[in-house]
């Protein structure tokens, strides 16, 4: 549900002895403790996802009804063999969460990658060609923005059929307008600048102008929006999973895990608590990172 | 002013057409013949199929079909539910008050907590309270509300046995729907205790649905207040020796509220999205749960019509917010 957008592209302010851009960026970024905490969590989640095969004590799919609904180890009846307990059909919750991290990150990255790719191209086209093309593209984006995001995603998945792939495509479409608007706004401010005119005069074609000259100068807001977009994607995909429209069981997707375990909420608190915590912490980390990136990259907020 | 209203109103026409186009093509994306889909799994007699194709105009070119659909929509005919055979519009109308009641309570909850929290955080900038509000609101903003609902049920309904788990009213009561809003209907009825039952049922869903707007409102109020408190006229007010309360309550708050009002308007769409999840968790008989049920019953007319109606509602609310914004802020009105 992250729907913040950036308006203007970031342009580095010239100083007398400019420090290396990366160093300057890190200076601003590291001053924001929340953002650093977010980054640390994200690195941890990425490591967990990459090392899932090594870290997970059990298979995420192996069922064993003899150990169904074991509580976490600190509660009576729990064992360290299943540190966070087991689900209603005896699968180790910790292992499922670890493999779920892999899924959630893939969902986030895939969704945002598609949105950025398609969104940037549409935005660049709208910004460069103006006229009818622009009106058509922007009106379409306005319509998508008007509809409540999850409702649209739900309707698309309901029609295309439930499943992780369709859910990801639906979420990608829903967050698309942010990237289109960003790219278009950036193009419009950038094209009036001298370096674009210079490039045009020296005979650069439209494609070159779009991708080689203008695009690199609107990456900053896109990066910020990407970080916030990943959190939206993870959250919305989990919501679809929870409604039974996203990843299907026995997939260890966190939202799907919640849906599976929902009816056992009264008997076993751990089956719903941990998957949700995993979603909350990961989404929070990406939001913190996005906020930090915005503060570090947006010159308007710099002193 | 009239010009401003007219331009804004005319701007929603393409959006409305877009929504109807989406709804129209949506049902065509479902694999298979639409009539056979509508007929359900029992199948249909081929002669009757041909006849129905004619009746529904499926033998016409696609643009003509869209024209037929649009004219039916404009007359309020959104088809019938395949399960109940009731018109989609009247089912929506019967369930919508439940959703509005929940959404209204949620936004009031968010305002009651979010406005003061944001204002105090701005006044006591960089204090522990400020950091606390910002931290909690970021967590609220990142909250998977479907999980939040389950956790609250676990805590308040299971652990402390304080609130009911689902529904709008205890089964002991039967309340004749007059307005459709149970908080009002129970008071009008001859069973005043039912009012408390309705309140009890509202508490958890309200908190769950209000969490994200609460976070957004608190953050927005804080940043708007900070901006306004840095303005010259606030310094003038301070120099005049006005009390701090007077400065904040009378001078700063008024201007700080303008962006907040817009954000509240934009939250309405988010609220309906949240209502779908909240209603599913608490078995709240509103339009959100109705839509999700329709998906699993493969009740396509309900899905198509319901999504269209919700889209139109959100569009209209956005328009109203836009107009209200123009009313309180003349600068908006005069830029084209």
pLDDT in tens, B187-238: 777 777 788 888 888 999 999 999 999 999 999 999 999 988 888 888 888 8
Q: What's the pLDDT score for residue B90? A: 93
Disruptive mutation site among A149, A159, A237 for chain B (greatest number of B CBs within 10 Å): A159
Please determine, for residue A302, whether its predicted confidence score (pLDDT) is greater than 50.
no
End-to-end CA distance of chain B: 11
Closest by CA to B210, choosing from B150, B293, B271, is: B271
- Say whether A151 and B307 touch across the interface (CB within 8 A): yes
Query: Cα–Cα distances in Å, from A249 out to A82, A252, B30?
Result: 21, 7, 23
If DSSP codes are grouped into helix, strand and coil, which group holds residue B261? helix
Query: Cα–Cα distances in Å, from B174 out to B63, B197, B285?
Result: 48, 12, 15
Task: For residue B110, report the phi and psi dihedrals to the nearest 5 degrees.
Answer: -65, -40
> What's the alpha-carbon Rg for chain A, to the nearest Å?
22
Please determine, for residue A301, whether its predicted confidence score (pLDDT) is greater than 60.
no
Q: What's the pLDDT score for residue B40? A: 63
Residue B24 lies in a domain: no
Of B31, B144, B307, nearest to A239 by CB-CB distance is: B144
Residue B260 lies in a domain: yes
Query: Considering only alpha carbons, which residue of chain A is nearest residue B20?
Result: A143
| Burial class of residue B129 in the structure, from the number of CB atoms within 10 Å of its CB (0-12 exposed, 13-18 middle, 19+ buried) | middle
Question: ∠B64-B70-B76 over CA atoms, to 5°?
Answer: 145
- Say whether B314 and A146 touch across the interface (CB within 8 A): yes
**Neighboring chain A residues of B30 at a CB cutoff of 8 Å:** 159
Dihedral angle of Cα B94, B98, B101, B103, to the nearest 10 degrees: -110
B188 CA: distance to closest CA in chain A (Å) = 34
**Neighboring chain A residues of B309 at a CB cutoff of 8 Å:** none
Across the range A75-90, mean pLDDT stands at 86
Place of tokens 């369709």: A166
Place of tokens 């509005």: B100
Of B14, B147, B314, nearest to A276 by CB-CB distance is: B147
- Say whether A235 and B14 touch across the interface (CB within 8 A): no
- Say whether B303 and A155 touch across the interface (CB within 8 A): yes
A80 touches chain B (CB under 8 A): no
CA dist., res. B150 & res. B168, Å (int): 17
Query: Cα–Cα distances in Å, from A198 out to A11, A183, A201, A206, B133?
Result: 18, 21, 5, 13, 49
Residues 302-331 of B with CB under 8 A from A: 303, 307, 310-311, 314-315, 318
Q: Summarize chain A as % helix, strand, coil (round to 5).
A: 70, 0, 30
Query: Considering only alpha carbons, which residue of chain A is nearest residue B15?
Result: A143
> Between B2 and B127, whose confidence is greater?
B127
B315 CA: distance to closest CA in chain A (Å) = 6
Across the range B83-99, mean pLDDT stands at 91
- Say whether B138 and A34 touch across the interface (CB within 8 A): yes
Q: Report whether the peptide linkage leading into residue B100 is cis, meaning its omega lies within 30 degrees of zero.
A: no
CA dist., res. B130 & res. B136, Å (int): 10
Query: Cα–Cα distances in Å, from A176 out to A136, A210, B119, B194?
Result: 15, 19, 34, 46
If DSSP codes are grouped into helix, strand and coil, which group holds residue A266? coil
CA dist., res. A289 & res. A38, Å (int): 5
CA dist., res. B214 & res. B137, Å (int): 7
CA dist., res. B21 & res. B172, Å (int): 45
Record the tokens describing residue A193, joined without a space: 């600048």
| % of chain B residues with pLDDT over 90 | 31
Residue B81 lies in a domain: no
B298 touches B111 (CB < 8 A): no
DSSP letter string, B135-186: HHHHHHHT--HHHHHHHHIIIIIIIS--S-SSSSS-TT-----SSS-HHHHH
Q: List, for residues A208-252, the tens digit of each pLDDT value.
A: 888 888 888 778 888 888 988 999 999 999 999 999 999 998 899
A262 touches chain B (CB under 8 A): yes
Record the tokens describing residue A220, joined without a space: 């900053």
> Between B161 and A72, whose confidence is greater?
A72
CA dist., res. B195 & res. B32, Å (int): 48
- Say whether B276 and A140 touch across the interface (CB within 8 A): no
CATH code for the domain of B212: 1.10.3720.10
CA dist., res. B311 & res. B307, Å (int): 6
Of A140, A155, A239, nearest to B26 by CB-CB distance is: A155
Query: Considering only alpha carbons, which residue of chain A is nearest residue B16?
Result: A143
Residue B289 lies in a domain: no
Residue B101 lies in a domain: yes
- Say whether B212 and A280 touch across the interface (CB within 8 A): no
ipTM over 0.90: no
Residue B271 lies in a domain: yes
Closest by CA to B178, choosing from B189, B166, B165, B167, is: B189
B278 touches B202 (CB < 8 A): no
Across the range B101-111, mean pLDDT stands at 93
Count: domains in chain B: 1
Place of tokens 């069922």: A63
B291 touches chain A (CB under 8 A): yes
pTM to 2 decimals?
Answer: 0.86
Report how far Cα B198 is from the mean position of its chain's Cα atoms: 20
> Between A293 and A298, whose confidence is greater?
A293
Of A34, A262, A280, nearest to B150 by CB-CB distance is: A262
Please determine, for residue B332, whether its predicted confidence score (pLDDT) is greater than 70.
no
Report how far Cα A204 is from the mean position of its chain's Cα atoms: 35
| Burial class of residue A14 in the structure, from the number of CB atoms within 10 Å of its CB (0-12 exposed, 13-18 middle, 19+ buried) | exposed
Residue B86 lies in a domain: no
Of B18, B139, B270, nearest to A1 by CB-CB distance is: B270
Of A140, A148, A276, nearest to B270 by CB-CB distance is: A148
Please determine, for residue A27, whether its predicted confidence score (pLDDT) is greater than 90.
no
Of B14, B144, B277, nearest to A276 by CB-CB distance is: B144
CA dist., res. B100 & res. B272, Å (int): 9
A37 touches chain B (CB under 8 A): no
Please determine, for residue B129, whether its predicted confidence score (pLDDT) is greater than 90.
yes
Q: List, for residues B136-182, the tens digit of each pLDDT value.
A: 999 999 999 999 999 999 888 878 878 887 888 777 777 777 777 88
- Say whether A154 and B143 touch across the interface (CB within 8 A): no
Structural domain including B259 reads: 96-281+308-335
Residue B23 lies in a domain: no
């Amino acid at each position: 549900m992250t729907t913040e957008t950036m308006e203007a592209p970031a342009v580095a302010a010239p100083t007398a002895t400019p420090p290396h851009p990366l160093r300057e960026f890190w200076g601003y970024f590291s001053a924001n403790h929340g953002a650093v905490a977010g980054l640390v969590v994200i690195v941890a989640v990425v490591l967990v996802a990459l090392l899932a095969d090594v870290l997970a004590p059990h298979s995420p799919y192996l069922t064993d009804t003899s150990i169904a609904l074991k509580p976490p180890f600190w509660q009576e009846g729990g064992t360290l063999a299943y540190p966070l307990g087991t689900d209603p059909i005896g699968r180790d919750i910790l292992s499922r969460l670890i493999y779920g991290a892999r899924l959630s990150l893939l969902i986030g990255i895939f969704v945002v990658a598609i949105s950025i790719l398609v969104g940037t191209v549409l935005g660049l086209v709208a910004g460069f060609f103006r006229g009818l093309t622009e009106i058509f593209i922007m009106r379409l984006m306005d319509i998508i923005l008007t509809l409540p995001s999850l409702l649209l995603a739900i309707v698309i998945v309901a029609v295309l059929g439930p499943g992780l792939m369709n859910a990801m495509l639906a979420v990608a479409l829903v967050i698309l307008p942010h990237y289109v608007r960003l790219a278009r706004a950036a193009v419009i401010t950038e094209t009036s600048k001298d370096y674009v005119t210079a490039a045009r005069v020296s005979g650069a074609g439209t494609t070159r102008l779009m991708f080689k000259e203008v695009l690199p100068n609107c990456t900053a807001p896109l990066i910020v929006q990407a970080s916030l977009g990943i959190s939206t994607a993870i959250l919305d995909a989990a919501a679809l999973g929870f409604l039974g429209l996203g990843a299907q069981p026995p997939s260890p997707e966190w939202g799907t895990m919640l849906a599976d375990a929902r009816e056992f909420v009264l008997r076993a608190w751990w089956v719903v608590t941990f998957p949700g915590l995993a979603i909350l912490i990961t989404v929070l980390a990406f939001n913190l990172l996005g906020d930090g990136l915005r503060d570090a990259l947006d010159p308007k907020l710099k002193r | 002013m009239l010009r401003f209203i007219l331009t804004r109103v005319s701007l929603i026409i393409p959006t409305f057409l877009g929504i109807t186009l989406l709804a129209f093509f949506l049902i065509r994306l479902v694999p298979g013949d639409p009539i056979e889909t509508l007929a359900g799994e029992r199948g249909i007699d081929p002669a009757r199929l041909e006849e129905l194709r004619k009746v529904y105009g499926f033998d016409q070119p696609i643009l003509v079909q869209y024209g037929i659909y649009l004219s039916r929509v404009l007359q309020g005919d959104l088809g019938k539910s395949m399960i109940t055979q009731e018109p989609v519009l009247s089912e929506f109308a019967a369930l919508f008050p439940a959703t509005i009641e929940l959404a209204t309570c949620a936004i009031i909850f968010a305002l009651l907590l979010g406005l003061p929290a944001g204002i105090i955080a701005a006044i006591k900038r960089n204090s522990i309270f400020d950091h606390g509000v910002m931290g909690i609101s970021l967590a609220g903003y990142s909250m998977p509300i479907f999980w939040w609902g389950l956790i609250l049920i676990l805590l308040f309904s299971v652990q402390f046995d304080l609130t009911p788990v689902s529904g709008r009213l205890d089964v002991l009561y039967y309340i004749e729907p007059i307005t459709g809003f149970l908080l009002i209907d129970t008071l009008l009825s001859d069973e005043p205790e039912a009012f408390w039952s309705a309140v009890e049922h509202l508490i958890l869903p309200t908190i769950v649905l209000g969490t994200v707007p609460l976070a957004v409102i608190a953050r927005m109020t804080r940043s708007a207040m900070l901006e306004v408190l840095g303005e010259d006229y606030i310094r003038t007010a301070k120099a005049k020796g006005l009390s701090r309360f007077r400065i904040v309550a009378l001078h700063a708050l008024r201007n700080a509220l303008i962006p907040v009002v817009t954000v509240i308007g934009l939250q309405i769409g988010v609220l309906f999205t949240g209502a779908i999840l909240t209603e599913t968790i608490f078995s709240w008989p509103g339009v959100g749960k109705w839509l999700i049920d329709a998906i699993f019953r493969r009740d396509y007319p309900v899905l198509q019509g319901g999504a269209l109606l919700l889209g139109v509602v959100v569009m209209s609310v956005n328009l109203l917010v836009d107009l209200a914004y123009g009313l309180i802020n003349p600068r908006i009105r005069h830029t084209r």
